[in-house]
Amino acid sequence: MRVYWEDTDGGGVVYHARYLNFFERARTELIRACGVDQMELKETHNLIWVVLEMNVRFVRAARLDDELLVGAAFEWTRGVRQGITQRMTRKTDGALIATADVTAAMLRADTLRPARMPVWIKQKMGLEGI
């Protein structure tokens, strides 16, 4: 992901809330890469994911025009909750920019009540043994 002017403060440094956008995009791409379409998940299966908690550690600043590599990986699943770890590095030098530990949950879209992740999603995401 490239850092654009709109992502920065007046000094060309990424504004702290923008890191959340970059992390969100990486989680969305992780789910997509596993073959799960989130719109279909909502419309056909009445399920959505929400973030319950996020712990972000800022290591160094990202700046205007930096290219960032942002990864996401499922680490655990318990009941309706899933743990996701994320890393953000600068492409040019591999410098660690930030990390995030995320707790997400699956909910029923119509009631926003907790729902267990269906087996077919666990299989697509390689979470059966986690």
The yes-or-no answer on residue 9 being catalytic is yes
Angle, nearest 10°, between helix axes 38-45 and 18-33? 70
Q: Enter the DSSP assignment of 12.
A: S
Phi-psi region of 126 (alpha: psi -120 to 50; beta: other; left: phi over 0): left
**Which entry of 7, 9, 37, 101 is annotated as an active-site residue?**
9
Q: Would you call 65 helix, strand, or coil by DSSP?
A: coil
Spatial separation of the C-alpha atoms in residues 94 and 54, rounded to whole Å: 23
As annotated, the active-site residues are: 9
